[in-house]
């Protein structure tokens, strides 16, 4: 894992106090979010409900025993999260081949290198961290996706064990050398190679470890290797994460498969988070980028483990175009309706698995805020609750401490009506109309809090906007994992 290193529209439009101006990239992000809110709020409110429901069903439907090779555990591996889900059965994506190998970024024997190969004409889109200290691989992908407009991507190279972040010009040179070596092997330009890294921040990537393994990895390229791929990119993850779905485009069946990694430093702004999703649909780079932007918002950007953003957060979405379905050039094309739903399901499924594998987590928690002034305000309040250490430790202690929920709502500095506010844990009211609920029952609350999956609903009483964020509890184990990370 790469180590530690929205306000309502009306407020966002107001002049900022001197000395508190947003960084240019943050201003752009805020402007984009304000622009998207009036256009997508209604769509996303309905779509998010469908995706959440479908993701639950999808988890049940695809949960299968892990494929051969995907269940091997290192001697150094930590206990598997009690919230873990089985790795799904995933079919090959036409046009995609992949392989893993051991580059040696870890002292123990494990694969830590992943290579994916794509056919001629493949499209690529990406969403990356807006962290002020981005990594060399993030810089590389952003620059070359902009240069190529997402056309002609040929390969993806991922390493675990070294983030290659905060490494200056030497880190950038290391990425270039990796891309150049891969380009020579795959007969493509180095800019057609995407690169991603995860691991300790501040350590320069030894690119020779990757380059020296390329021949062996290339020899092993296969269309069926999702389980090994998911395991090769893990850091403090305790289980490999994958998701798969099938959709129809104009009567032709297409496949969507993806993997991700992340366990700590999860609070995406685009968690340590890397995600790679591939479809065999034929979708233009522009349409693919629009889909990537749209569905990241309420999936990967709606989960948090510890509130810390990573320098390396990356989501790359690839389309091989090998399904036989007609090529789609607009994200809003009616023929993409089923594909859009299934893509959101896959992204939601992967995002939920990040939370389920939160470092030391024992509870999977859904925070829903309603009655907010705007969708941006609702998201900010929900994140405030989800990121609060006091709230998260209360969940760890199975204590329905609704006072801490109210505290976290207020500290978001968003419009709320204290005397209309309500708080609910699952089906049980804790507070209504600004007071402890008349039906409050401590015994029922205590029994509910023992569940592994919990829901908290907060109505702030000032409007009609809503947002949902998923999080986990904060336990002693989180401190142990991060206290010992480099020692």
Catalytic: 370?
Answer: no
Q: Could you count the other beta carbons within 10 Å of the beta carbon of residue 84? A: 17
Residue 426 half-sphere exposure toward CB, CA atoms < 13 A: 16
d(CA 112, CA 101): 6
d(CA 39, CA 45): 12
Catalytic residue among 272, 299, 311, 471: 272
Q: What is the DSSP string of 106-174?
A: SSSS---EEEEE--TT-EEEEEE---SS-BHHHHHHHHHHHHHTTB---EEEEEEEE--BS-HHHHHHH
d(CA 281, CA 11): 41
d(CA 148, CA 187): 17
Instruction: Give the pairing of strands 314-319 and 428-432.
Output: unpaired
Comparing C-alpha atoms, which of 247, 246, 230 is closest to residue 238?
230
Confirm if 57 and 341 have CB atoms less than 8 A apart: no
**CA 101, chain centre distance (Å):** 24
Q: Number of H helices and number of E strands within the chain?
A: 14, 15
Helix (H, G, I), strand (E, B) or coil at 385: helix
End-to-end CA distance of the chain: 15
Catalytic residue numbers, as ranges: 272
């Amino acid at each position: 894992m790469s180590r530690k290193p929205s306000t309502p529209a009306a407020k966002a439009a107001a002049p900022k106090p001197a000395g508190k101006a947003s960084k240019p990239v943050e201003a752009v992000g805020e402007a984009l979010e304000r622009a998207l809110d009036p256009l997508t709020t209604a769509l996303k409110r309905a779509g998010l409900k469908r995706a959440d429901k479908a993701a639950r069903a999808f988890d049940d439907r695809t949960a299968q025993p892990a494929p051969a090779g995907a269940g091997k555990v290192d001697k150094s591996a930590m206990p598997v999260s009690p919230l873990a889900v089985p790795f799904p059965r995933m079919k090959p994506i036409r046009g995609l081949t992949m392989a893993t190998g051991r580059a040696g970024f870890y002292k123990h024997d494990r694969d830590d290198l992943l290579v994916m190969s794509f056919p001629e004409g493949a499209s690529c889109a990406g969403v990356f961290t807006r962290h002020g200290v981005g990594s060399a691989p993030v810089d590389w992908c952003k620059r070359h996706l902009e240069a190529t407009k997402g056309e002609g991507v040929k390969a993806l190279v991922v390493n675990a064990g070294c983030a290659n972040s905060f490494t200056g010009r030497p880190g950038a040179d290391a990425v270039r050398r990796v891309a150049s070596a891969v380009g020579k092997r795959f007969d493509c330009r180095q800019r057609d190679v995407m690169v991603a890294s995860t691991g300790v921040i501040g350590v320069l990537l030894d690119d020779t470890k990757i380059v020296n393994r390329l021949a062996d990895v290339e020899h092993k390229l296969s269309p069926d290797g999702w389980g090994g791929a998911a395991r090769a990119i893990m850091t403090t993850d305790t289980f490999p994460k994958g998701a798969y779905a099938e959709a129809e485009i104009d009567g032709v069946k297409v496949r969507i498969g993806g993997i991700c990694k992340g366990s700590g430093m999860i609070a995406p702004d685009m968690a340590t988070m890397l995600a790679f999703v591939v479809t065999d649909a034929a979708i233009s780079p522009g349409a693919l980028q629009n889909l990537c932007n749209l569905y990241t918002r309420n999936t990967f950007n709606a989960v948090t483990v510890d509130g810390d953003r990573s320098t390396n957060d990356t989501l790359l979405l690839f389309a091989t175009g090998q399904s036989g379905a007609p090529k789609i050039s607009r994200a809003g094309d009616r023929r993409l309706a089923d594909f859009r739903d299934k893509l959101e399901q896959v992204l939601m499924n992967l995002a939920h698995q990040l939370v389920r594998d939160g470092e030391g987590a024992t509870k999977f928690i859904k925070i829903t805020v309603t009655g907010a002034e705007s969708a941006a305000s609702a998201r900010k309040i929900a994140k405030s609750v989800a990121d609060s250490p006091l709230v998260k430790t209360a969940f760890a202690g199975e204590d329905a401490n609704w006072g801490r929920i109210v505290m976290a709502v207020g500290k978001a500095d968003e419009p709320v009506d204290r005397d209309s506010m309500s708080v609910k844990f699952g089906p049980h009211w804790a507070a209504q109309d600004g007071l402890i609920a008349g039906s409050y029952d401590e015994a029922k609350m205590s029994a509910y809090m023992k569940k592994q999956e919990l829901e908290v609903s907060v109505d702030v009483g000032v409007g009609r906007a809503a947002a949902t964020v998923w999080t986990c509890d904060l336990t002693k184990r989180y401190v142990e994992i991060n206290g010992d990370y480099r020692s």
